[in-house]
Structure 1
């Protein structure tokens, strides 16, 4: 798809004072790709009045132009001004997540979670090590949750779940669910489409991802022993340092 803007509006398209999206009568036209050739020919005709007042740019071009303008605005920021903070607000202190973790995870979470604060629902440091307690803490929650684990090798990994963890007779969840690890760079493994074994909760274990007789992430009733294997749901690599691991700390955050 292409977008045609008047020349005087192009360079100010994404600045705060001249954001075209907030104009009552924006001077732009959105057209489909198959119409661009005709319009482009018209605008490149020197005799056409429109050629003097309009410019055709693609969506990709507009993004590049936006980044250029934003970089210029950023460079003109006074030294006393603080840069905007785009990190989610954590209403509780995390013993596992730093800014790098938070930014990486937030950028991969669904759009419906953006802009909402993160609330700590469960922490082994606060609530002890019990899967039963974890389920109880989530009994009244109806929103996505983020599971964060640090193993005894100090590696951080976990899963984003489209639904809170609960005891279930069968698998539940949606394709928004994914597993991830920091190794130390962030790696996210999204739904492969091969099966829908997203989440299944038992009183004695929590399972995330499956297929081929192995789980993407598995935790025992004491939230102390776990396992992570390659599975069909996410086509992931093992998330932990060792496929069978021991949990040092575990947190669950809800986004609402």
Structure 2
């Protein structure tokens, strides 16, 4: 790895991207009438110009940026794409264990493992293996965000109404984690927060998963749109064929998981009708 960068050098790099404000770009539908330049770029040209800047720049920070700088470039729906820049050293230091007793010793000469997302709260259900497996299958647009615990039966009690209330102001993807009485961990990643609705909602980013014992993800099959629906007395994820992929009652104590057409999944628990030991919901924002 090349030399580490100073705070000033990273600030210099950040300044370059900060100058790329949304107002400096024309909409795609007007681009054909405009002459492109460094200060007037169509969105699709951004990455090419970023690469060109680093390849041609004479400043020390640009010469070895691929070795030392991690650039996180992404776009969210209805938002201007933006770039977050961190040094590799900082990225490794951000790796946070949610179960420190499970972490083994690592020598300084060993290559770092995949960077885990930052969990701002301690999980009673997830260890590093769970987090790494789930993070690697979540959409790219969620990769740079920390996880926040928005609901936990250990903290908030067992009530679906309370879960909905805790998520009233949430507007981002969520991760549902369940541990049943057989100590099996499973759940769902949902593109939208859980809420009471008269219709099904969610996108194809939603998936079911299970550690039983190996990690297995069940992605949207495209056969129907019965992705998520919230009632006051139950939460339903996936459907078709007369069964839900995952179902929870109003007390978040009784649940069920059957094969369903939405995800072409196998039952997530060892028992199709199960009882909940603990449950957590994490926001990715």
> What TM-score does the superposition give when structure 2 sets the normalisation length?
0.63
Distance in 2 of aligned mates of 1:111 and 1:234:
20
Determine whether 1:241 maps to 2:270: yes
Determine whether 1:255 maps to 2:275: no
Q: CA deviation at 1:83?
A: 4.9
Per-residue Cα deviation, 1:41-98 (whole angstroms, up to 9, x for no partner): xxxxxxxxxxxxxxxxxxxxxxxxxxxxxxxxxxxxx954675460000000000000
Q: CA deviation at 1:207?
A: 0.0
2:177 corresponds, among 148, 167, 174, to 148
Distance in 1 of aligned mates of 2:140 and 2:190:
14
Quick one: structure 1 residues 92 and 194, their matched pair in 2 at CA, closer, same or farther if it must change by over 3 Å?
same
Structure exhibiting the larger radius of gyration computed from Cα positions: 1
Distance in 1 of aligned mates of 2:136 and 2:2:
23
- Counterpart of 2:212 in structure 1 is 183
Q: Which has the higher contact order (CA 8 A, sep 6+)?
A: 1
Question: What are the equivalent positions in structure 2 for 1:204-219 lying under 5 Å apart?
Answer: 204-219=233-248
Per-residue Cα deviation, 1:159-184 (whole angstroms, up to 9, x for no partner): 00000000000000000000000011
1:200 corresponds, among 229, 232, 236, to 229
Determine whether 1:101 maps to 2:133: no
Unaligned runs of 5+ in 1: 1-14, 26-77
Distance in 1 of aligned mates of 2:2 and 2:213:
36
- Counterpart of 1:169 in structure 2 is 198
- Counterpart of 1:23 in structure 2 is 55
- Counterpart of 1:129 in structure 2 is 158
Per-residue Cα deviation, 1:190-240 (whole angstroms, up to 9, x for no partner): 000100100000000000000011000000000000000000000000001
Quick one: structure 1 residues 186 and 24, their matched pair in 2 at CA, closer, same or farther if it must change by over 3 Å?
same
Per-residue Cα deviation, 1:134-193 (whole angstroms, up to 9, x for no partner): 000000000000000000000000000000000000000000000000011100000001
Task: Point out the more displaced range, 81-90 or 131-140.
Answer: 81-90
Distance in 1 of aligned mates of 2:202 and 2:277:
27
Distance in 2 of aligned mates of 1:241 and 1:247:
12
Structure 1 residue matching 2:210: 3-state secondary structure = strand
Distance in 2 of aligned mates of 1:16 and 1:228:
50
Question: What are the equivalent positions in structure 2 for 1:27-66 lying under 5 Å apart?
Answer: none
Quick one: structure 1 residues 108 and 80, their matched pair in 2 at CA, closer, same or farther if it must change by over 3 Å?
closer
Number of residue-to-residue matches in the alignment: 188
